[in-house]
């Protein structure tokens, strides 16, 4: 191990934790506001402080700074207002006597940079200048995010004695895996500096101002994150990176200011979730703050939602997922060759493989979703080099699906975990009496993903000249479809079962009305079955004005506050609901869901990962588990953008862009898309709603591309 300038002599160890650290006691009610960029994020309390609880500065899933507070004359400041925007935050304070105005700006750019502007003011005449003692307090605990969320200890290691220099303090954690350090550096020399705080004596006449600047940088093993030399340069750098990102994204404008705000929030949220991991792989995090790590399911769903807007980024991320594809068997993590990790954490316990989450494969939907996402991106971009790089990985994922196949179903066979799909609570997959079906179990939507994966893989194989392999995949896909029609479709309900337990033995069907059925791809059910599902799903016990419910609110197993089984989830509302209603001739129902997303955002202040709809369908919406729902969250941020694609009828054909039966919601009036990149071309699109109908116009700005309109 290569160490930084910190010496690791025994006298410099502040505390040693050979068996892990004591558990934290946290205030779960404390709200936090995130700012993030490039894999670094800060959680600030509404007062802007880091003083316990969840707040802190995080890098690589480790809290590099847990305390940062500002005092004037030994007393906390009074918050007057605050704003946050993606990678920056601004707080306005006064001191207790209201004689000092403190304007505090925070920016994330490969570290944290802060600037305090101090201005003297008073209504009473003063004979001379006033003086204040401004204190910045700080500390670093190097706890993993899992521990901050109370999932367990960080791991074994030594907390090192801080090193104090003239203008900087460096904290260190010598973990089993690597050395981590955090340095707080001041632009000017404090009047007093020690391992806990810095003090500045500020003397100002009324109306005069002074500034204090400081920055927080860190090292994680061999990775050193350099701070900008000043706050101004850090802010300029952060703004340029954000501007470059926005410039590369096609612009979407509608006639609804509320929905435009939602679209901006979505794109900003996605920017906050982009990062490179410690292996320099380009990835998207699942959500802030608890899941800032790789989640294959979330990433693949995001690509299905947003790959049309971020084609280059989506391809890079898919290749990064392929980098982590398992080629081994492991009982604890349930890895099999070809499996994509469900979840992968890179904190100390993960690096040392002391937890299953270093490469957790507790899911069976990652392989089919990976194949579907990659094939769709190959079709959208027409990028032959991408196909060549990822094709063998898709075939390995297909072999993984074969490993999980029994009786022509993809099954979840673990006895240690009752349910582990996108809904992860034990009660999320039950029968109509609330009984969890036994393993091995087959779940409705995964069968559709597996069928779609094999159909798309067959098309891709055929384009590469592998005709025999393509035929095999189509035969397997057809067996999946036939088995589903035989065993999942319930003639009495005119609806598919949510799951069947006991595959390979005594079957345990689960006859519950659910919206997982809306995730089934087009062509898996007959047209008559699709329409029957659409009409039933449109009923108010499943479709509400603010989104679709996973389970019918009329069912005896419905519990509105179960986090991942009965709360509204925006991604399912769009990827399932909007898509299903649009393709089954119910655009008005789809429009209600699109408007509901914007309305939910207005009521809640932002569009969260999960929220509860009151049973009476009136009044304000409520958060479900406020501190546990992520914001931003990957597939939630992608939902409004995917909804736009569906309403615009945008699809990739063979060497063409297809505009199929577009229907812009009436509340939007028009949609303009500028700079859409598809198959090497750049296209502008204009939609307008008049008299209940949508007209569409296109202009190919660059490249050669045919545009075909259906309806």
Tens digit of each residue's pLDDT (9 = 90 or more) over 429-459: 888 988 888 889 999 999 999 999 999 999 9
CB 707 within 8 A of CB 700: yes
Give pLDDT, residue 147. 82
- The closest of 330, 419, 166, 310 to 645, measured between CA atoms, is 310
* Displacement of CA 267 from its chain's centroid (Å): 12
H helices, E strands: number in the chain: 15, 40
Give residues with Cβ within 8 angstroms of 225, minimum separation 6.
Answer: 40, 59, 110, 111, 217, 218, 219
Q: What is the pLDDT of residues 497-541, one digit of tens each?
A: 999 999 999 999 999 999 999 999 999 999 999 999 999 999 999
**Alpha carbon distance 92, 116 (integer Å):** 10
* Displacement of CA 188 from its chain's centroid (Å): 38
Q: What is the pLDDT of residues 455-477, one digit of tens each?
A: 999 999 999 999 999 999 999 99
CB 65 within 8 A of CB 56: yes
**Alpha carbon distance 602, 600 (integer Å):** 5
- What is the share, in percent, of the chain residues with pLDDT greater than 90? 70
Give pLDDT, residue 481. 97
- The closest of 16, 214, 187 to 113, measured between CA atoms, is 214
- Confidence band for 425, pLDDT divided at 50, 70 and 90: low
Query: What's phi and psi for 119, nearest 5 deg?
Result: -130, 125
**Alpha carbon distance 316, 334 (integer Å):** 26
- Burial class for 47, CB neighbours closer than 10 Å (0-12, 13-18, 19+): middle
Mean pLDDT, rounded, for 679-690? 96
Task: Give the count of alpha carbons within 13 A of 429, CB side only.
Answer: 27
* The residue to which tokens 């792989």 are assigned: 281
Cα angle 593, 594, 598 (rounded to 5 degrees) comes to 110
Backbone conformation region of residue 385, classed left if phi is above 0, alpha if psi is from -120 to 50, else beta:
alpha
Q: What is the pLDDT of residues 73-131, one digit of tens each?
A: 999 999 999 999 999 999 999 999 899 999 999 999 989 999 999 999 876 666 678 89
Would you call 323 helix, strand, or coil by DSSP?
helix
- Provide the token pair at 298: 């979330």
Would you call 406 helix, strand, or coil by DSSP?
strand
53-57, 369-373, 677-681: the lowest-pLDDT one: 53-57
Mean pLDDT, rounded, for 286-315? 95
Give pLDDT, residue 486. 97
Give pLDDT, residue 427. 66
User: With DSSP H G I counted as helix, E B as strand and the rest as coil, what are the percentages for the chain, rounded to 5?
Assistant: 30, 30, 40
Would you call 149 helix, strand, or coil by DSSP?
coil
Pairing of strands 706-710, 656-660: parallel
Task: Give the count of alpha carbons within 13 A of 547, CB side only.
Answer: 31
- The closest of 255, 311, 264, 242 to 637, measured between CA atoms, is 264
Give pLDDT, residue 227. 73
- Burial class for 330, CB neighbours closer than 10 Å (0-12, 13-18, 19+): middle
CB 227 within 8 A of CB 110: yes
Pairing of strands 40-45, 32-37: antiparallel
- Confidence band for 30, pLDDT divided at 50, 70 and 90: low
Q: What is the pLDDT of residues 193-241, one digit of tens each?
A: 999 999 999 999 888 999 999 999 999 998 888 777 799 999 999 999 9
Mean pLDDT, rounded, for 14-30? 72
* The residue to which tokens 């995949």 are assigned: 473
- Confidence band for 698, pLDDT divided at 50, 70 and 90: very high
Query: Does residue 592 register a pLDDT over 90?
Result: yes
Instruction: Give me the DSSP letters along 537-604.
Output: HTSTTTEETTEE-SB-TTSTT--TT-TTTTSB-HHHIIIIIIHHHHHTT-HHHHHHHHHHHHHHHHHH
Give pLDDT, residue 363. 87
What's the start-to-end Cα distance of the chain, in Å?
64
Give pLDDT, residue 308. 98
Average pLDDT over the chain reads 90
* Displacement of CA 165 from its chain's centroid (Å): 39
CB 498 within 8 A of CB 514: yes
**Alpha carbon distance 445, 518 (integer Å):** 8
Mean pLDDT, rounded, for 600-613? 86
Would you call 129 helix, strand, or coil by DSSP?
coil
Mean pLDDT, rounded, for 329-354? 89
Give pLDDT, residue 424. 56
* The residue to which tokens 């992968």 are assigned: 344
- Burial class for 482, CB neighbours closer than 10 Å (0-12, 13-18, 19+): exposed
Mean pLDDT, rounded, for 632-647? 97
Domains of the chain: 10-242 (2.70.98.40), 249-648 (1.50.10.10)
């Amino acid at each position: 191990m290569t160490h930084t300038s910190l010496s690791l002599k025994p006298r410099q160890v502040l505390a040693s934790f050979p068996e892990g650290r004591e558990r934290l006691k946290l205030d779960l009610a404390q709200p936090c506001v995130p700012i993030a960029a490039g894999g670094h994020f800060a959680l600030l309390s509404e007062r802007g402080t880091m003083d316990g609880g969840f707040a802190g500065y995080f890098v690589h899933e480790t809290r590099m700074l847990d305390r940062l507070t500002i005092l004037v004359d030994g007393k906390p400041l009074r918050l007057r207002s605050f704003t946050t925007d993606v990678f920056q935050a601004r707080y306005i304070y006064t001191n207790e006597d209201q004689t000092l105005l403190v304007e505090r700006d925070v920016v994330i750019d490969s570290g944290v940079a802060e600037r305090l502007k101090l201005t003297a003011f008073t209504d009473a005449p003063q004979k001379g200048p006033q003086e204040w003692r401004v204190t910045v307090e700080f500390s670093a605990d190097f706890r993993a995010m899992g521990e901050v969320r109370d999932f367990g200890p960080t791991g074994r290691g030594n907390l090192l004695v801080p090193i104090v220099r003239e203008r900087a303090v460096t904290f260190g954690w010598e973990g089993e895996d690597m050395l981590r350090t955090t340095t707080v550096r001041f632009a000017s020399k404090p009047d007093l500096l020690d391992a806990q705080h810095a003090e500045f004596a500020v003397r100002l006449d009324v109306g005069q101002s002074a500034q204090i600047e400081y920055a927080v940088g860190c090292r994680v093993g061999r990775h050193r994150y350099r701070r900008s030399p000043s706050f101004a340069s850090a802010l300029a750098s952060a703004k340029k990176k954000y501007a470059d990102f926005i410039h590369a994204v096609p612009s979407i404008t509608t006639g609804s200011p509320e929905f435009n705000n939602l679209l901006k929030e979505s794109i900003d949220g996605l920017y906050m979730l982009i990062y490179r991991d410690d292996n320099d792989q380009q990835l998207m995090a699942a959500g802030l703050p608890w899941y800032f790590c790789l989640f294959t399911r979330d990433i693949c769903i995001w690509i299905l939602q947003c790959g049309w807007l971020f084609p280059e980024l989506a391809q890079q991320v898919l290749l990064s997922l392929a980098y982590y594809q398992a080629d081994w068997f492991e009982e604890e993590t349930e890895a099999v060759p070809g499996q994509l990790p469900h979840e992968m954490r890179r904190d100390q316990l993960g690096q040392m493989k002391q937890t299953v989450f270093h490469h957790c494969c507790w899911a069976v939907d990652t392989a089919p979703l990976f194949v579907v996402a990659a094939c769709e991106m190959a079709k959208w971009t027409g990028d032959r080099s991408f196909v060549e790089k990822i094709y063998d990985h898709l075939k390995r994922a297909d072999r993984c699906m074969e490993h999980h196949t029994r009786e022509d179903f993809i099954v979840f066979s673990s006895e240690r975990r009752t349910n582990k799909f996108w809904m992860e609570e034990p009660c999320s997959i039950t029968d109509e009496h609330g009984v969890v079906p036994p393993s091995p179990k087959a779940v409705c939507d995964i069968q559709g993903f597996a069928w779609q994966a094999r159909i798309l893989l067959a098309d891709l194989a055929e384009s590469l000249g592998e005709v025999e392999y393509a035929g095999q995949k189509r035969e397997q896909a057809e067996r999946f479809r036939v088995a589903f029609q035989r065993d999942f479709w319930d003639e009495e309900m005119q609806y598919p079962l949510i799951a069947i337990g006991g595959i390979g033995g005594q079957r345990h069907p689960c006859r519950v009305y659910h919206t997982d059925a809306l995730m089934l791809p087009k062509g898996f059910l007959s047209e008559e079955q699709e329409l029957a599902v659409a009409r039933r799903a449109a009923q108010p016990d499943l479709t509400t004005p603010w989104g679709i419910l996973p389970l019918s609110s009329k069912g005896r197993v419905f519990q509105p506050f179960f986090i991942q089984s009965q709360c509204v989830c925006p991604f399912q509302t769009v990827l399932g609901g909007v898509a299903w209603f649009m393709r089954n001739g119910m655009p008005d129902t789809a429009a209600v869901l699109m408007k509901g997303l914007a309305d939910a955002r207005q009521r809640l202040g932002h569009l969260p990962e999960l929220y509860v709809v009151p049973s009476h369908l009136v009044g304000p919406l409520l958060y479900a588990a406020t501190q546990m729902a992520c914001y931003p969250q990957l597939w939630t941020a992608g939902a409004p953008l995917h909804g736009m694609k569906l309403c615009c009828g945008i699809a990739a054909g063979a060497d063409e862009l297809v505009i199929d039966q577009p229907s812009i919601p009436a509340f939007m009036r028009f949609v303009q898309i500028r700079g859409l990149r598809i198959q090497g071309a750049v296209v502008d699109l204009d939609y307008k709603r008049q008299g209940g109908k949508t007209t569409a116009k296109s202009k190919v700005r660059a490249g050669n591309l045919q545009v075909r309109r259906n309806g």
